[in-house]
Amino acid sequence: MTDKISIAEDNIRRIRQAWKSQPTREGAGVRLKRAFGFNETPRLDPFLLLDAFHSENPDDYRKGFPWHPHRGIETITYILDGEVEHGDSMGNRGLISAGDVQWMTAGSGIIHQEMPKGDAKGEMWGFQLWSNLPARSKMMDPRYQEVKQSQIPVVKTPDGATVRVIAGEAAGARGPVREIVTDPLFLDVTLPAGKSFVQPVPANHNAFVYAIDGEGYFEPRESLAREAPERYGEGSLLLYGSGDAIEASADKKPVRFLLVAGKPLREPIAWYGPVVMNTQKELETAFDEFGKGTFVKHGESRN
Ligand code: MN
C-alpha cells in the first residue's frame, strides 16, 4: 500500500440507501440503537446486525446481556468508553475496555454473558456488529480475537484523517484482526473540519458507513460541487452501491464514523435470535440442543 491513492471519480461508490438507527431494547432491557438487523437482510451480507449503545445513565445498560447462546455467526464488540465484562461457557472471563475490540467467532456454539459497566462517570459507548459465517464454517470451533487498544494501529493520513485500523488494510497499516473468512475491513475514522479520506474497497464487497459523531459527506468530493450535497451525522447508516473506493469529507464540523466492508456469502439465512444458520432444520437442532444441554460442542457446557 502506498499513501497516494488515485482512483477515478466514477469508481468511487455512491450511497445506495441511507437511514437512521432506531431505538430498541435487547438483552435484559438494555436501551440501544439498532442501525440494521433482521429486516435489512440480505442487503448488508455478510453483516447481519449493528447495534450502538451510548448512554450516560447506567439504568440504560446495567442489566446487560445475561447468559445466552450464539451459533453460526461472529459478534464483534468495539468499545469507545466504559467497559464490558465478558464470560463464557468455556470458562473465559475478561474485560473489553475503552478502545478494545473483541472479535468472537461463535462457530458451533458458545454460551456467554456481556455486562456493560460504564466508566467512572457512568458513560457507556460501544458497538456490536454481527457477521455471518459461511455454511462450511458455521460449526467450526469457537475462537476469540481479543484486541487491546494498544494493538490497534492509529494512522494519520497525509490528507488529515485519523484511522484506527481494526481489520483489513488502510492508510498503509494492517489491522490486528486476521484470518476472517469474509475478509472484512473495519475502520474507525475521524476527520477534522476541512479534511477528507479515500479508502479502496474490493468491488465485490458490500460496504457501509455508520456515522458516530459530528457530520460529514460520504460521496465523491467532486460530486459535491455540482449536486445538492447531503450531510450525514450521528446515527446514520449509509449502504453503498458498487465501486472501488469510498470517499468521505468534513467541511465545517469534524466527523467520526465506522467504515465496514466484507465479502458477501450469498447463502440462505435461517435466523432466530442469537443463532443464524442456513436451514430451518439447523435452527431447530440448535434450540433442541440448547434445551437438552448439548449445545456447546467445545469445552465445558454451562446449560
Ligand atoms: Mn452475545
User: For residues 172 and 3, what is the distance between their CA atoms, to the nearest angstrom?
Assistant: 6
φ/ψ of 57, rounded to 5, equals -115, 110
Residue 226: predicted pLDDT: 80
C-alpha cell at 73: 455467526
User: For residues 243 and 15, what is the distance between their CA atoms, to the nearest angstrom?
Assistant: 11
Helix (H) / strand (E) element for 207: namely strand 206-216
The reported pTM is: 0.95
Q: Say how many Å lie between the CA of residue 285 and the centre of ligand 1.
A: 19
Residue 238: predicted pLDDT: 98
pLDDT reading at 302 higher than 90 = no
Give CATH 2.60.120.10 domain extents, the chain.
Answer: 17-151+268-303, 153-266
Mean pLDDT of 113-128: 96
Q: Say how many Å lie between the CA of residue 286 and the centre of ligand 1.
A: 15
Q: Say how many Å lie between the CA of residue 169 and the centre of ligand 1.
A: 27
Of 238, 107, 96, 83, nearest to 180 by C-alpha is: 107
pLDDT reading at 163 higher than 60 = yes
Q: Say how many Å lie between the CA of residue 114 and the centre of ligand 1.
A: 6
Average pLDDT, the chain: 94
Q: Say how many Å lie between the CA of residue 233 and the centre of ligand 1.
A: 27
Q: Say how many Å lie between the CA of residue 150 and the centre of ligand 1.
A: 24
Q: Say how many Å lie between the CA of residue 17 and the centre of ligand 1.
A: 28
pLDDT reading at 5 higher than 70 = no
Q: Say how many Å lie between the CA of residue 104 and the centre of ligand 1.
A: 9
pLDDT tens, position by position, 234-266:
999 999 999 999 999 999 999 999 999 999 999
Q: Say how many Å lie between the CA of residue 69 and the centre of ligand 1.
A: 7
Q: Say how many Å lie between the CA of residue 66 and the centre of ligand 1.
A: 9
**CB contact set of 24 (below 8 Å; sequence gap of 6+):** 31, 32, 33, 34
Q: Say how many Å lie between the CA of residue 267 and the centre of ligand 1.
A: 23
pLDDT band at 303 (very low <50, low <70, confident <90, very high): very low
* % residues pLDDT > 70 (the chain): 95
Residue 4: predicted pLDDT: 52
Instruction: Please give the span between the terminal C-alpha atoms of the chain, in angstroms, as a whole number.
Output: 47
Residue 258: predicted pLDDT: 98
Sign of the C-alpha dihedral computed for residues 171, 244, 233 and 195 taken in this order: positive
Residue 63: predicted pLDDT: 96
pLDDT tens, position by position, 43-99:
999 999 999 999 999 999 999 999 999 999 999 999 999 999 999 988 899 999 999
**How is domain 153-266 classified at the CATH fold level?**
Jelly Rolls (2.60.120)
What CATH code would you report for 17-151+268-303? 2.60.120.10
pLDDT band at 298 (very low <50, low <70, confident <90, very high): confident
Residue 221: predicted pLDDT: 87
Q: Say how many Å lie between the CA of residue 65 and the centre of ligand 1.
A: 7
Q: Say how many Å lie between the CA of residue 76 and the centre of ligand 1.
A: 9
Q: Are 257 and 212 in contact (CB under 8 A)?
A: yes
Q: Say how many Å lie between the CA of residue 130 and the centre of ligand 1.
A: 9
Mean pLDDT of 273-281: 98
Residue 9: predicted pLDDT: 65
